[in-house]
Amino acid sequence: MAREAEADRPFPRAAVTPTKVRVLITEGKGLEIEWSDGHRSAWNFAWLRNACPCATCNEERAQQGRKPGQPKAKPADLLPMYTPPAKPASAQAVGRYAIQFNWLDGHSAGIYSFEFLRRHCQCSECRFDRGETTGAPN
């Protein structure tokens, strides 16, 4: 697919080099990164948990046809159950290229490289560029 080929294009170094990384655990908000090229990105914890890039989660998503960050479909015949929002207990840098979350559900295998995160920037502009939203960026 053309869109996938475009998504594989490498980023300039400044686009994947963070100048500021904030993990807003206490606020329960998510991850915020400011990049060397001046762009700012933010991801909420639910998106990050559903985008876990570890082999197991990748495989599970591939089987279910889900994109990174896309939640699992809930069975329609079950009563809706409260599931606590995904949140990490902690997060740490992995070398200079990635960040790792220790999720409260016990999962921590995913290494979120800065390139992966930038590729999936959730700002309205980037989502519009990737064709994930139909509305104009605001």
What mask, x for binding Zn ion by CB under 5 A, covers residues 77 to 116?
--------------------------------xx------
Tell me the helices (H) and strands (E) count for the chain, helix number first: 5, 6
What mask, x for binding Zn ion by CB under 5 A, covers residues 44 to 83?
--------x-x--x--------------------------
Containing 125, the helix (H) or strand (E) segment is helix 124-129
Q: Which pair of tokens denotes residue 111?
A: 């290494």
Min dist. Cβ of residue 133 to Zn ion (A): 12
- Match 């560029």 to its residue by tokens: 129
**Amino acid identity of 57?**
C
The residue ranges that bind Zn ion (CB under 5 A) are 52, 54, 57, 109-110, 121, 123, 126
